[in-house]
């Protein structure tokens, strides 16, 4: 009799303890868990910011080099009418246009040659490199635009051995030189007769 | 040894052990009592509701606060970034100036702006690279090209970090990622203060809520406990014999029903007990009346038989024997009637103690002399002188005479009468009289009933000289003195009756 009594009391005590724990849990956890300002996940807040890059399509050319994170970085270079390739381009900002005035959109051949000559000093300072092999002798680049908007470029180098970044450098440079939005299929044809085609696809979103 | 229990109801001390047991039970009940449980339940409900409400309110308010700050910061940062112009590739020189300009425009408060482009790292602060910006935010900004933000708590300080990738226009409808990503890091100290204030407010709101919850809890406990307490008091009062106890019925709840039922049952009980009492009283009165009615004719008969006894010698032997038989039986009848009347007086509670300060040894000796037992060699006495007590001499005489007579009649000689004093368990001094014989003793089966009325220990001897009431009267007399009587057997054979009477009988008695 007494034993059952004590047992009952013990059980009741235990249930009270459970109850107290439940109260602490019910009240405490929402308060404790939510105290102060908590961490959060990364929350998307709209698209990127559009900055002014002073791109003048009539006077500038757009080259794509490899960024340190492996992606492509566009570089804006002013075209000088006499510019061939090598280092004799005009630094952006040091806008001293030639006596012949604005040269108009640079021909794609010229732009591709500028790309093939590799990143300039300023580009290298920003950590930009190229995935394209150095072209020693002055080759020729010919660009044909077909009626459906596709572009075919003959390049003075072997296309077969180029890695994906190199192909994209060429494709994007050519595509953005041809059109404002860089769309359209570019076909690269090398000295080795190999042929690779693709589109740039750097524009954010489908419509850019 | 058998201790004869005192008849219940006669003495109010039957529940002498009661109060201690009551308090023990009560204290245990109180620890988990109704009041405690009701208070706990109310507090629990109040705590849960107040806690939940405060927690939810606090959380919503905090989130709203943070959302406002974050949205403002992100949109401001985007607006300000869109006002900047960059030459590509981004050059390290001059960049910090732009970043410092950006840093000044921070809303709701200044931020530190970091720029990452290729291998270029720059900031408006001291360190070109922030230690707060997480790889996840960086990935969202560089790979997914979304403006995004993240709250980071570092060393207990909450920061808002915003990652903003940039694009530039290549035409009226087309943009191109520039590769430049700008980050803003803003301390959320003011927000922290506001959020802390919210928390304090939530807590301060919850605690008075708990205090307020105590009031209805106490009221509810009172409304339950008061009827319960009344019920307990009533039950106890009924238990102590006040059958007319009733509870006031308040309201129409279950407790009122209980009180109603209690009153009803109490009424039934009172009626039943009343009827029983009436019947018992009638029966007693009847026995008493019968005894009284028998007394007068018996007195006459006794007078006649005395005369007949004297003249018996002159009668012829057969008639003389008959006359002597009638005489003896009449005498027995007279004793029986006297005993019945004595018992009736006890039953009617009309027996009174006429106490006197007496020398106990002397009184016992007188008793033996009066019965012509003083010189009887069947009786031995151990009567130490000097024991004085306040006793009713007549009743004490009846006790001793009954016990000694009983021993002589049913036990074997010699009969020993022993007087002594003894300290009882409660510490008071008691006088003890032992009457022992050397007969066969009392059968074990008879021991519990030895003091019952008309009980015959030896079934074969149905016609003894006793009335059958002697020991019952002895018991009543001892109890009237506030004493006890025990019957038992000696190890060497023979019965022993032990009478214990407290020496201060006038205090122990009524």
Residue of A42, A174, A208 to mutate when probing chain B, most B C-beta within 10 A? A42
Q: How many CB pairs under 8 A join A and B?
A: 223
The rounded distance, in Å, linking the Cα atoms of B50 and B42 is 12
> Cβ contact (<8 Å) for A53 and B87?
yes
Q: What is the DSSP letter of A68?
A: T
Cβ of A50 and B175 within 8 Å? yes
For chain B positions 306-325, those within 8 Å of chain A (CB to CB) are none
Q: CATH code at B92?
A: 3.30.450.20
Number of domains chain B contains = 3
Whether B21 is in a domain gets the answer no
Q: What is the pLDDT of residue B272?
A: 92
Q: In a structure prediction context, what are the per-residue pLDDT tens digits for chain B, which is 510 residues long? A: 444 444 433 433 434 344 444 444 454 446 677 788 888 888 888 888 887 887 788 888 888 888 888 888 898 899 989 988 888 888 888 888 888 888 888 777 788 999 988 888 888 888 888 888 999 898 888 887 788 999 998 888 889 999 999 998 888 888 888 888 999 999 888 777 887 888 788 778 778 878 888 888 888 888 888 888 888 888 899 888 888 888 888 888 888 888 899 899 999 989 999 999 999 889 888 888 888 888 888 899 889 888 888 888 888 888 888 888 888 888 888 888 888 888 888 888 888 888 888 999 999 999 999 888 877 788 888 888 888 888 899 999 999 999 998 888 888 778 899 998 888 777 788 889 999 988 888 888 888 888 888 877 665 444 555 678 888 899 999 999 888 999 988 888 888 999 999 886 444 444
Domain of B285, in residue numbers: 262-351
B33, B38, B167: which to substitute to probe chain A, counting the most A Cβ within 10 Å?
A: B167
pLDDT above 90 for A5: no
Burial zone of B103 (CB within 10 Å; 0-12 exposed, 13-18 middle, 19+ buried):
buried
Verify that B395 and B434 share a domain, yes or no.
Answer: yes
Strand partners, B152: B159
Residues of chain A contacting B206 with CB distance shorter than 8 Å: 27
Residues B171 and B47 in one domain: yes
* Residue B88 contacts A, CB cutoff 8 Å: yes
Residues B344 and B487 in one domain: no
- Strand pairing partners for B120? B117
Task: Measure CB to CB from residue A40 to each of B92, B150, B195 and give the nearest one.
Answer: B150
- B270 and B149 assigned to the same domain: no
Distance (Å) from the C-alpha of residue A77 to the closest C-alpha of chain B?
8
A45:B148 CB<8 A: yes
Question: Are the beta carbons of A202 and B176 separated by less than 8 Å?
Answer: yes
Q: Say whether residue B190 is in contact with chain A using an 8 A CB cutoff.
A: no
Distance from C-alpha of B143 to C-alpha of B139, rounded to nearest angstrom? 5
CB < 8 Å to B180, chain A: 51
Residue of A nearest to B158 (CA): A37
Within chain A, residue ranges assigned H as helices are: 2-23, 29-33, 108-116, 121-125, 164-178
- Is B13 within a domain? no
Instruction: Tell me the shortest Cα–Cα distance from B3 to chain A, in angstroms.
Output: 27
Give CA–CA dist A65/A91, Å, rounded: 16
Give the gap in angstroms from C-alpha A117 to the nearest C-alpha of chain B. 16
Same domain for B68 and B158, yes or no, is yes
Smallest CA–CA distance, residue B138 to chain A, in Å, is 10
State how far residue B104 is from chain A, nearest Cα, in angstroms.
18
Of B93, B115, B142, B88, give the one whose Cα is nearest residue A119.
Answer: B88
CB B493 within 8 A of CB B438: yes
Q: Is there a single domain that holds both residue B144 and residue B165?
A: yes
Q: Is residue B445 part of a domain?
A: yes
Q: pLDDT band for position A81 (50/70/90)?
A: low
Q: Alpha helix locations (H) across B106-188? A: 135-142
Q: Of B195, B210, B233, which residue is a domain's last?
A: B195
Q: Count CA atoms closer than 13 A to A52's CA, side-chain side.
A: 6
Contact A51 B92 (CB under 8 A): no
* Over residues A174-194, mean pLDDT: 84
Task: Name every chain A residue with its beta carbon within 8 A of the beta carbon of B177.
Answer: 48, 74, 202, 204
Q: Is B494 helix (H, G, I), strand (E, B) or coil?
A: coil
B51, B81, B195 member nearest A36 (Cβ): B195
Is B420 found in the same domain as B284? no
Among residues B148, B177, B195, the one where a domain terminates is: B195
Q: Do you know the residue count of chain A?
A: 208
Do B115 and B167 reside in the same domain of the chain?
Answer: yes
pLDDT at site A95: 42
Q: Are residues B389 and B329 in the same domain?
A: no
Task: Quote the CA–CA distance of A114 and A34 in Å, as a whole number.
Answer: 58
pLDDT score at A101: 44
Reduce the DSSP state of residue B137 to 3 states and report it.
helix
> Quick one: B48 and B183 in the same domain?
yes
**Are B344 and B374 in the same domain?**
no
Is residue B136 in a domain?
Answer: yes
Q: What is the mean pLDDT of residues A19-39?
A: 66
Beta carbons within 8 Å of B424's beta carbon, 6+ residues apart? B430, B500, B502
């Amino acid at each position: 009799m007494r034993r059952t009594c004590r047992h009952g009391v013990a059980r009741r005590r235990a249930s009270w303890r459970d109850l107290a724990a439940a109260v602490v849990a019910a009240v405490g956890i929402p308060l404790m868990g939510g105290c102060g300002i908590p961490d959060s996940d990364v929350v998307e807040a709209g698209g990127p910011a559009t900055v002014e890059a002073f791109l003048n399509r009539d006077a500038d050319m757009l080259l794509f080099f490899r960024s340190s994170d492996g992606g492509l970085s566009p570089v804006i270079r002013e075209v000088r009418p006499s510019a061939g390739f090598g280092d004799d381009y005009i630094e952006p900002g040091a806008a001293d246009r030639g006596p012949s005035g604005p040269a108009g959109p640079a021909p794609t051949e010229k732009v591709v040659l500028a790309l093939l000559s590799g990143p300039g000093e300023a580009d290298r300072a920003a950590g930009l490199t190229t995935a394209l092999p150095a072209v020693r002798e002055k080759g020729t680049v010919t660009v044909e635009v077909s009626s459906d908007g596709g572009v075919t470029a003959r390049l003075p180098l072997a296309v077969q051995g180029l890695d994906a970044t190199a192909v994209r450098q060429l494709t994007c440079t050519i595509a953005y030189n041809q059109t404002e939005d860089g769309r359209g299929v570019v076909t690269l044809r090398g000295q080795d007769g190999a042929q690779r085609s693709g589109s740039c696809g750097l524009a954010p979103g489908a419509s850019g | 040894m058998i201790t004869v229990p005192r008849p219940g109801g006669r003495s109010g001390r039957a529940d002498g052990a009661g109060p201690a047991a009551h308090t023990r039970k009560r204290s245990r009940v109180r620890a988990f009592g109704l009041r405690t449980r009701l208070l706990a339940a109310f507090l629990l409900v109040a705590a849960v509701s107040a806690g939940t409400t405060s927690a939810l309110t606090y959380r919503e308010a905090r989130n709203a606060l943070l959302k406002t700050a974050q949205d403002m910061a992100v949109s401001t940062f985007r607006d300000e970034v869109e006002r900047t112009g960059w030459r590509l590739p981004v050059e390290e020189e001059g960049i910090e100036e732009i970043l410092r300009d950006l840093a000044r425009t921070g809303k709701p408060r200044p931020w530190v702006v970091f720029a990452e482009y290729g291998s270029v790292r720059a900031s408006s602060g001291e360190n070109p690279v922030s230690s707060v910006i997480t790889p996840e935010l960086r990935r969202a900004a560089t790979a997914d090209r979304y403006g995004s933000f993240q709250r980071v708590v570092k060393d207990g300080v909450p920061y808002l970090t915003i990652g903003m990738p940039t694009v530039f226009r290549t035409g009226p409808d087309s943009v191109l990622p520039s590769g430049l990503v700008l980050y803003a890091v803003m301390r959320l100290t003011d927000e922290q203060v506001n959020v802390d204030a919210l928390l304090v407010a939530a807590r301060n709101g919850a605690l008075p809520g708990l205090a307020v919850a105590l009031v209805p809890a106490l009221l509810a406990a009172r409304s339950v406990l008061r009827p319960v307490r009344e019920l307990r008091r009533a039950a106890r009062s009924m238990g102590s014999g006040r059958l007319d106890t009733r509870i006031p019925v308040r309201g129409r709840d279950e407790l009122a029903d209980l009180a109603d039922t209690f009153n009803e049952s109490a009424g039934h009980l009172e009626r039943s007990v009343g009827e029983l009492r009436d019947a018992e009283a009638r029966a007693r009165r009847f026995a008493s009346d019968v005894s009284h009615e028998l007394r007068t004719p018996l007195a006459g008969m006794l007078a006649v038989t005395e005369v007949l006894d004297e003249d018996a010698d002159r009668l012829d032997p057969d008639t003389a024997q008959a006359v002597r038989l009638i005489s003896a039986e009449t005498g027995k009848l007279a004793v029986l009637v006297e005993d019945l009347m004595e018992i009736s007086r006890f039953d009617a509670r009309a027996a009174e103690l006429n106490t006197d300060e007496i020398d106990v040894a002397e009184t016992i000796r007188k008793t033996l002399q009066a019965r012509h037992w003083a010189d009887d060699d069947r009786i031995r006495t151990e009567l130490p002188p000097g024991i004085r007590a306040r006793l009713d001499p007549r009743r004490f005489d009846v006790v001793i005479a009954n016990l000694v007579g009983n021993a002589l009649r049913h036990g074997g000689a010699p009969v020993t009468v022993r007087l002594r004093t003894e300290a009882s368990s409660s510490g008071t001094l008691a006088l003890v009289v032992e009457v022992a014989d050397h007969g066969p003793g009392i059968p074990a089966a008879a021991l519990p009933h030895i003091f019952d009325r008309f009980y015959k220990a030896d079934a074969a001897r149905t016609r003894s000289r006793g009335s059958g009431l002697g020991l019952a009267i002895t018991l009543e007399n001892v109890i009237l003195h506030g004493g006890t009587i025990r019957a038992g057997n000696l190890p060497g054979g023979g019965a022993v009756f032990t009478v214990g009477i407290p020496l201060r009988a006038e205090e122990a008695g009524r």
